[in-house]
Amino acid sequence: MSILALERLEVRHGLLSAVRDLDLELAEGETLALVGANGAGKSSLLRTIAGAHRPASGKVIYEGRDISRVSGHKRVPMGIALVPEGRRLFPSLTVEENLLVAGRNGRQGPWNVDAVIDAFPMLRERRRSRAQNLSGGEQQATAIGRALMTNPRLLLLDEVSLGLAPVAVEDVYRSLRQVIAGGTTVILVEQDLARALDVATRVVCMLEGRAVLAAAAKDVTREIVTDAYFGTPQAGGARP
Structural domains in the chain, sorted by start: 2-229 (3.40.50.300)
Express each pLDDT in 40-77 by its tens digit.
Answer: 999 999 999 999 999 999 999 999 999 999 999 999 99
Distances (CA, A) of 203 to 14, 65, 199, 219: 29, 24, 10, 10
Express each pLDDT in 198-229 by its tens digit.
Answer: 999 999 999 999 999 999 999 998 889 888 88
The predicted pLDDT at position 77 comes to 94
Cα gap 149→107, rounded to integer Å: 9
Cα gap 194→173, rounded to integer Å: 12
The predicted pLDDT at position 237 comes to 44
Helices 95-103 and 136-148 meet at what angle, rounded to 10?
20
Residues 183, 186, 190: CA angle, nearest 5 degrees: 140
Residue 239 has pLDDT above 60, yes or no: no
Average pLDDT, the chain: 92
Express each pLDDT in 129-150 by its tens digit.
Answer: 999 999 999 999 999 999 999 9
Q: pLDDT-derived band of residue 15, with 50, 70 and 90 as boundaries?
A: confident
Cα gap 159→86, rounded to integer Å: 8
Residue 97 has pLDDT above 90, yes or no: yes
Percent of the chain with pLDDT over 90: 76
The predicted pLDDT at position 71 comes to 95
Residue 235 has pLDDT above 50, yes or no: no
